[in-house]
């Protein structure tokens, strides 16, 4: 085992933080290890409606001074948050692997991204926030356009990649000069609460507040009239609820939602490399990633070879405890996920599809104690199958054969989702033509994970029901800024 005894026995309790103070609560949420359900990883407070009110009031109280703080100072403080995350990276990697279920190597990479998000958010920001003056011919007249924060932003995050999703949301919201109330998911609140607490300890009191809890706390927060904007990452159903809640006070929403990403493999693709990279994307975090390959389209002429390579590669996946270095894939995060994935698998088998359950168990003796699922492939999926139409958000991957590119593009676009996508071809020109016809916020060519430049430059977001607005890149900060324009005119000169 790669784990140590101290990894397994340590129980973490974290209070909420409101106005710079620890806020305990009477009720606690118990966080269990999805790979060892009898192990309590830690507890957080199950927050109350009153505590949400307190958190919003603290954020309101802190917002004017934070907005007036020089950009350079805000950026310097946020960079310190990134450094502090780095300083605790190993401890956090173990904690989050235990509460989330993804293998520790993945969480380590996530932590690097999270720390960088705080350090890099300031790049070019001073120029971007500088007021722009537009002169006129008339004496004494000019127009000044300023970009200013909203005030209080509610930041609500899910459990699946909790640290990076939190960092990508709160770093720009804060850099822009907003104060925030952060609500982690009760399925993985410990790492996110820790990041919130780190930020709260470095920034002035009230600028960062963390409340814990589930739907009721979230709903109170998103409906609060003093919250000026909601930035939410999660599922479509919750987003619809939030939009209805936000309607009463007409607040803005920024949504990063689910995806059903197609991978379109063209007939000149390097099949071996494509399979390797598609599997890397689709089974990372046991498939619980919003922008993962969720359906593959392959030319019928190459389908047999592609399926053979895919089966061979997926069969090499080792499923086990997140802290065991032998595991390449951990458990799914919670019981709801397990049930949903098992039901989907069973109904696809009952439909008569060629389903292959592959991979191996690292810890067969403790298998039933965790939410473990072996990776599966559906080798002869059809366009209208549930496994193709729904976001599976788990380790089952359908392969659909196509006869021509037109058909592949049409099938890829026949969905209410539009997050990410990929095209696989030795010809960049050919791939770019296909990419330009995909209805999605993002397309990656010959991979389904972003390059280093992609991570820094690409506005992350989805079309259709995959989202509203953009995160990351130099553009993401715009979600947290509004205009304040001043049209300066003067009195006519009057004599004596
Ligand atoms: P979820 O919508 O169930 O929960 C997300 C957050 O919303 C949690 O903090 C939850 O407590 C809170 N919440 C629940 N009910 C609420 C309510 N009524 N009002 C306000 N907040 C409420 O989603 P999940 O199961 O945690 O995450 C999985 C989903 O998130 C998947 O669909 C996945 O694709 C999507 N996701 C999208 C992205 C992206 O960037 N596009 C990233 C990760 C996950």
pLDDT single digits (tens) 444-457: 999 999 999 999 99
- Residue 228 pLDDT > 60, yes or no? yes
- Residue 2 pLDDT > 60, yes or no? no
- Residue 7 pLDDT > 80, yes or no? no
Catalytic annotation present for 290: yes
461 Cβ contact list (under 8 Å, min separation 6): 256, 419, 441, 442, 467, 468, 469, 470, 471
Q: Determine the distance from the C-alpha atom of residue 370 to the mean position of all C-alpha atoms in its chain, rounded to a whole number.
A: 24
Largest Cα separation within the chain, whole Å, is 97
At 6, the pLDDT band (50, 70, 90 cuts) reads very low
For the stretch 253-289, pLDDT in tens is 999 999 999 999 999 999 999 999 999 999 999 999 9
Ligand 1 site, residue 393, Cβ cutoff 6 A: yes
- Strand partners for 21: 18
Q: Give the chain's domains with CATH numbers.
A: 5-257+471-484 (3.40.605.10), 261-458 (3.40.309.10)
Our mutation pick for probing the ligand 1 site, out of 31, 45, 153, 235, counting the most ligand atoms within 8 A of Cβ, is: 235
Ligand 1 site, residue 222, Cβ cutoff 6 A: yes
Angstrom distances, CA of residue 373 to CA of 288, 341, 365, 369, 467 = 12, 8, 14, 12, 29
Characterize the bridge pairing of strands 355-357 and 376-378.
antiparallel
Ligand 1 site, residue 388, Cβ cutoff 6 A: no
Ligand 1 site, residue 472, Cβ cutoff 6 A: no
Lowest mean pLDDT among 1-5, 51-55, 231-235, 359-363: 1-5
For the stretch 80-119, pLDDT in tens is 999 999 999 999 999 999 999 999 999 999 999 999 999 9
Share of the chain above pLDDT 90, in %: 96
Average pLDDT over residues 217-233: 98
Q: Nearest C-alpha to atom 8 of ligand 1 is from which residue?
A: 185
pLDDT at 1: 34
Active-site pick, 120, 290, 420, 471: 290
Phi and psi based region of residue 318 (left: phi greater than 0; alpha: psi -120 to 50; beta: remaining): beta
Residue whose C-alpha is closest to residue 153's, from 53, 215, 228: 228
pLDDT at 494: 67
Average pLDDT over residues 58-79: 98
pLDDT at 412: 98
Q: Nearest C-alpha to atom 3 of ligand 1 is from which residue?
A: 235
Average pLDDT over residues 130-148: 96
221 Cβ contact list (under 8 Å, min separation 6): 52, 55, 56, 154, 156, 181, 183, 211, 227, 230
Active-site pick, 110, 256, 391, 405: 256
- Residue 19 pLDDT > 80, yes or no? yes
Ligand 1 site, residue 220, Cβ cutoff 6 A: no
pLDDT at 11: 85
At 9, the pLDDT band (50, 70, 90 cuts) reads low
Ligand 1 site, residue 241, Cβ cutoff 6 A: yes
Catalytic annotation present for 155: no
Q: Over the chain, what is the mean pLDDT? A: 96
pTM passes above 0.95: yes
pLDDT at 3: 39
pLDDT at 496: 52
For the stretch 156-186, pLDDT in tens is 999 999 999 999 999 999 999 999 999 999 9
- Residue 8 pLDDT > 60, yes or no? no
pLDDT at 28: 98
Q: Tell me if 196 sits within 8 A of 100, measured CB to CB.
A: no
Distance 406 CA to ligand 1 centre (A): 34
User: 93: which 2 tokens?
Assistant: 């990697």
Ligand 1 site, residue 256, Cβ cutoff 6 A: yes
- Residue 423 pLDDT > 60, yes or no? yes
CA distance 470 to 459: 6
Which atom of ligand 1 is closest in space to residue 242's alpha carbon? 19
Average pLDDT over residues 332-345: 98
pLDDT at 5: 39
Average pLDDT over residues 334-362: 98
């Amino acid at each position: 085992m790669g784990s140590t005894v101290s990894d397994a026995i340590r129980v973490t309790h974290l209070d909420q933080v409101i106005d710079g103070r620890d806020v305990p609560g009477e009720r606690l949420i118990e966080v269990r290890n999805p790979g060892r359900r009898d192990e309590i990883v830690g507890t957080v407070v199950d927050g109350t409606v009153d505590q949400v009110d307190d958190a919003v009031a603290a954020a309101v109280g802190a917002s004017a001074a934070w907005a007036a703080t020089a950009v350079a100072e805000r950026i310097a403080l946020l960079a310190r948050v990134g450094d502090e995350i780095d300083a605790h990276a190993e401890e956090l990697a173990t904690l989050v692997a235990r509460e989330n279920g993804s293998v520790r190597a993945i969480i380590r990479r996530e932590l690097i991204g999270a720390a960088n998000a705080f350090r890099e958010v300031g790049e070019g920001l001073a120029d971007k926030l500088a007021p722009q003056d537009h002169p006129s011919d008339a004496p004494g007249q000019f127009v000044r356009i300023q970009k200013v924060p909203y005030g209080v932003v509610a930041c609500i995050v899910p459990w699946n990649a909790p640290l990076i999703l939190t960092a990508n949301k709160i770093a720009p919201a804060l850099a822009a000069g907003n104060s925030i109330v952060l609500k982690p998911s009760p399925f993985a609140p410990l790492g996110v609460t820790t990041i919130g607490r780190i930020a709260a300890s470095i920034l002035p009191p009230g600028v960062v507040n963390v409340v814990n809890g589930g739907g009721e706390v979230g709903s109170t927060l998103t409906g609060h009239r003093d919250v000026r904007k909601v930035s939410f990452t999660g599922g479509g159903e919750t987003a619809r609820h939030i939009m209805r809640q936000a309607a009463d006070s007409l607040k803005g929403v920024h949504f990063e939602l689910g995806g059903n990403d197609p991978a379109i493999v063209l007939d000149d693709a390097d099949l071996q490399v494509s399979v390797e990279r598609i599997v890397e994307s689709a089974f990372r975090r046991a498939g619980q990633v919003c922008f993962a390959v969720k359906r593959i389209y392959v030319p019928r002429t190459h389908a047999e070879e592609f399926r053979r390579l895919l089966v061979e590669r997926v069969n090499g996946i080792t499923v086990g405890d997140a802290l065991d270095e032998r595991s390449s894939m951990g458990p799914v995060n919670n019981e709801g996920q397990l049930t949903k994935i098992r039901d989907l698998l069973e109904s696809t088998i009952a439909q008569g599809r060629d389903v292959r359950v592959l991979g191996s168990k690292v810890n067969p003796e403790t298998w039933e104690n965790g939410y473990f699922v072996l990776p599966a492939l559906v080798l002869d999926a059809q366009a209208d199958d549930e496994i193709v139409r729904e976001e599976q958000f788990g380790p089952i991957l359908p392969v659909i054969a196509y006869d021509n590119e037109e058909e592949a593009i049409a099938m890829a676009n026949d969905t209410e989702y539009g997050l990410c996508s990929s095209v696989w071809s030795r010809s960049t020109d050919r791939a770019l033509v296909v990419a330009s016809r995909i209805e999605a916020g993002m397309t990656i060519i010959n991979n389904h994970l972003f390059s280093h430049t992609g991570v820094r430059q690409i506005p992350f977001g989805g079309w259709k029901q995959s989202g509203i607005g953009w995160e990351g890149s130099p553009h993401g900060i715009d979600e947290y800024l509004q205009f304040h324009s001043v049209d300066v005119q003067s009195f006519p000169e009057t004599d004596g």
